[in-house]
Amino acid sequence: MPLNLGRTDSGDLLWVENPFTGVVTYVTDIHRKRSGFQQKTEPRPEYPTHDLDPYRRRCPFCPGNESMTTTEVLRRTTAEGEWSTRAFYNLFPRIPVECTGGRNESYVLVESPRHFRDAATHPDHLEFTAGLGHARFREIVRDAAALSAIAFENPAVASVVVRKNQGRESGASQPHPHTQVIGGGREFSPIAAERRAVEESPDLWQEILDLAARERLVIDEREGCYLYFSPFGAFPRSYEIVDTRVSGRLHQIPTDRLDAFADLLFAALDILGDDPMDYEIHAEQGIPLHAHVHSRFFPYSNIAGTLNLPLQLLRPNP
């Protein structure tokens, strides 16, 4: 079944329907509007770096505070014997333990011991995932795959997603860079919807990639793995990374393909920098390995179940 979309007489994309959710995205100029809200212009006070120590002392994700977390299940160490990433059970399971055989299958992966950026002088100068570099991010994705394997050791777990929030606007409650790996007792509904859509239209993902290529939305490609601006993301500024060559659970993906995928996911995060954002990795049999990345920095426009895609993303200025 071909993608459901509309075009003007000149062939320009006018609207496109999300093949997984049915949500329609309209291509408009709405995001060229200037905000009428006044922004605060008061200078932000600067503090000596040593004044940031109290924030580190009370953060359970910072080095030296390991006793503040739940039981550790994974640790990656440096040559000096210090940890570079560590994972433990989420204190507040995202899925009730009764749904996963009485076991907590929600994990927190701390991406770095760093809480603040280099030369930070203010509590807002937080480290962010893109600031860690692509080599570290490969390790983060590999560790998430290892946690996926741990979750699937529980026969009550039917599905696992990798979820990251960055920034308060994205719903993150902890400023220290971290990722969540969540096991559920039933298949997560977005993954089930993606599987059904692919079963009905086996060439669906290729059609999406063809559309992205025609509309000049492809940002990068690495040996069959693609990063593109999504014309029907959950938010007006969304990106997707898809490797159509592989499917399966995250820990079943060959390392070279997982690294290529991680590199393009990092490229999307690098575009967003320290802006509020979230991403979710879907990896299961029957669907290609892919991730949905959403920027929360831009206004969210949802009217009667539709979205508005900024026109300038399809018609970039010369």
Buried b / exposed e over 78-92, threshold 16 CB at 10 Å, is eeeeebbbbbbbbee
Q: Judge contact between 164 and 293, C-beta under 8 A.
A: no
199 near 193, Cβ under 8 Å? no
Q: CA 219 → CA 114, 200, 268, 270, 287, distances in Å?
A: 30, 28, 9, 12, 22
State whether 153 and 196 are in the same domain: no
Query: Does 6 map to a domain?
Result: no
Count of structural domains, the chain = 2
Phi and psi (nearest 5°) for 65? -115, 25
The answer on 214 and 171 residing in a single domain is no
Q: Do 293 and 232 fall into the same domain?
A: yes
Torsion, Cα of 42, 43, 45, 46 (10° steps) = 160
Same domain, 178 and 254: no
Q: Could you identify the residue written with the tokens 């990063």?
A: 227
Euclidean distance between CA atoms 150 and 289, whole angstroms: 19
- The model's pLDDT over 90-104, given as tens digits with 9 standing for 90+, comes to 999 999 999 999 999
Global pTM reads 0.89
Structural domain ending residue among the three candidates 157, 184, 211: 184
Q: Same domain, yes or no, for 150 and 245?
A: no
State which of 184, 214, 244 marks the end of a domain.
Answer: 184
**Are 161 and 216 in the same domain?**
no
Q: State whether 162 and 92 are in the same domain.
A: yes
The encoded tokens of residue 279 equal 């991403």
Query: 83-89 and 106-110 as β-strands: parallel, antiparallel, unpaired?
Result: antiparallel
| HSE (side-chain half, CA atoms, 13 Å) at 304 | 2
Contact predicate 167/276, CB 8 Å: yes
Looking at 184, 201, 227, which one is the last position of a domain? 184
CA angle 167–127–119, rounded 5-degree value: 135
Q: Give residue 123's domain range.
A: 50-184
Domain with 122 in it: what CATH number?
3.30.428.10
Asked if residue 125 and residue 233 are part of one domain, the reply reads no
For residue 14, the model assigns a pLDDT of 87
Among 58, 37, 20, 5, which residue's Cα sits nearest to residue 240?
20
Kindly state whether residues 82 and 152 are assigned to the same domain: yes
pLDDT < 50 positions in the chain: 318
Whether residue 67 is found in the same domain as residue 117:
yes
8 A C-beta contact, residue 180 and residue 109: yes
